[in-house]
Structure 1
Amino acid sequence: MEADPRFAGFVAERGDALLRYGYVLAGNPHDAADLVQEALLKLRASWPRLRAKDNPESYVRTTMARLHTATWRLRRRELLSWDPPEHGYHDTLPGEEERAMGEALAGLPRRQRVVLVLRYYEGLSDEEIATVLKISRGTVRSQASRALGKLRSVVGEYIEEGVMSDHRERR
């Protein structure tokens, strides 16, 4: 297969943004890099058919969300744990609220986290999320509701006074 400079240009231009998106989906840099790599491999295989389309990034992001959900289905019976580091760790997040939110998001089940990422990070509607994940709108709503309930219980006041009030004001 001959290398297409437009594909290489797309990867060079949008690679960092895709990695950030993967991090928000997966909750850690290693799984994020795996998601990006797998999605870009799929894009490369489909590139001859997609290059006429205006938005290959949409294809990659949809693929990443589906891959993440599929991985969740395969791993949902595994109990994953992280050993604490033996040395100190300097958190680069600006505040306790952001760290608490990140920890709370990482603690959500994969499907719930994906629904929240697609809704609040990507700005997709329930209908669009349902299409991306191949689930019903009702499932999208119930997963979002459960996820927000878990976040409220973990982060508490910060969610009610910070994130949720900001979201309500933007509507």
Structure 2
Amino acid sequence: MHGRQDGEAPVTHPAERTVERTLGHLRAVDASPPARPAGGPLTLEDLYRTHRMRLVRLAILLVDEPATAEDVVQEAFTGLHRNWHTLRDASAALGYLRTAVVNGSRSVLRRRKTARDYTPPHVANARSAESLAMLTAEHQAVVNALSQLPPRQREVLVLRYYGGLTEAEIAEATGISKGTVKSTASRALDALQKIIVPR
């Protein structure tokens, strides 16, 4: 897994460059607005204004449905409001939100799996027009391939390459060990390569 933030070796997996290029492009498109001017304590409104859209995109990449992604993020902010007094600082608040979005997305996928045996294709591939309209065919193919991965593999790749998180931050957001993050990323890249370049 690409982990320059963790001091690891450069990109080596053939699919890694592809997924990094696509999710890095999305990250740039969805770049957060400038940070709040210094002075005064951070508020929930500041976090909402600054991070909401990136969290929605994160959820879209995990659950494939914009409306559901919006609900997941709204629920994450509601939970943050309830727990606001327990958080140490802004980074703890953002970590809480990321974990809540990952857990909320997992719950959605679990409910989907048990609630239906058939998913109409137009629902499975529903994406907001504005969110992915600017993607090239190559980028679109990568996003579609990501949606075919098992949930945990998708989480790890999305958090790393779209969220820009280190292995330690991914481990915290997903509740798995750093070693599992690394092995999951490796398996995910192998699977992604097979989907993108079928034999």
Query: Using the alignment, how far apart are the partners of 1:137 and 1:10 within structure 2?
Result: 27
TM-score normalised by the chain length of structure 1: 0.71
Aligned to 2:119: 81
Measured in 1, the distance between the counterparts of 2:90 and 2:172 equals 19
- Corresponding residue for 2:100? 63
Match of 1:132 in 2: 173
Instruction: Quickly say closer, same or farther: Cα 1:138–1:72, change in 2 above 3 A.
Output: farther
Letter matched to residue 134 of structure 1: G
Report the counterpart of residue 145 of structure 2 in structure 1. Answer: 104
Deviation of 1:23 after TM superposition, in Å, equals 1.8
The aligned runs of 1:133-148 (5 Å cut-off) are 133-148=174-189
Tell me the alpha carbon deviations over residues 13-60 of structure 1, each in whole angstroms, 9 at most, x when there is no partner.
33222212222232321221121011111101011233x513322321
The runs of 5 or more residues in structure 1 that have no matched partner are 158-171
The aligned counterpart of 2:60 is 23
| Structure 1 counterpart of 2:189, one-letter code | L
| Distance in 2 of aligned mates of 1:132 and 1:20 | 16
In the alignment, structure 1 residue 54 sits paired with structure 2 residue 90: yes
Aligned residue type for 2:120? W
Task: Give, in whole Å, the separation in 1 of the partners of 2:171 and 2:195.
Answer: 26
If asked which structure has higher relative contact order (CA below 8 Å, sep 6+), I would say 2
Comparing 132-141 with 98-107, which one deviates more in the overlay? Answer: 132-141
Cα distance in 2, alignment partners of residues 117 and 49 from structure 1: 28
Partner of 1:160: none
The CA deviation at 1:74 is 5.0
Q: Distance in 2 between matches of 1:127 and 1:57?
A: 15
Report if the CA contact (8 A) 1:72-1:111 is conserved.
Answer: no
What runs of 5+ residues in structure 2 fail to find an aligned partner?
Answer: 1-41, 124-128
Partner residue, 2:159 = 118
**Partner SS, residue 124 of structure 1:** coil
Quote the Cα distance in structure 2 between the aligned partners of 1:8 and 1:53: 14
Q: Quote how far apart the aligned CAs of 1:75 are.
A: 4.5
Aligned CA distance change for structure 1 residues 132 and 57 (closer, same or farther; 3 Å) = closer
Match for 1:39 among 76, 84, 87? 76
Normalising by structure 2, we get a TM-score of 0.62
Report if aligned partners of 1:119, 1:125 keep a CA contact under 8 Å in 2.
yes
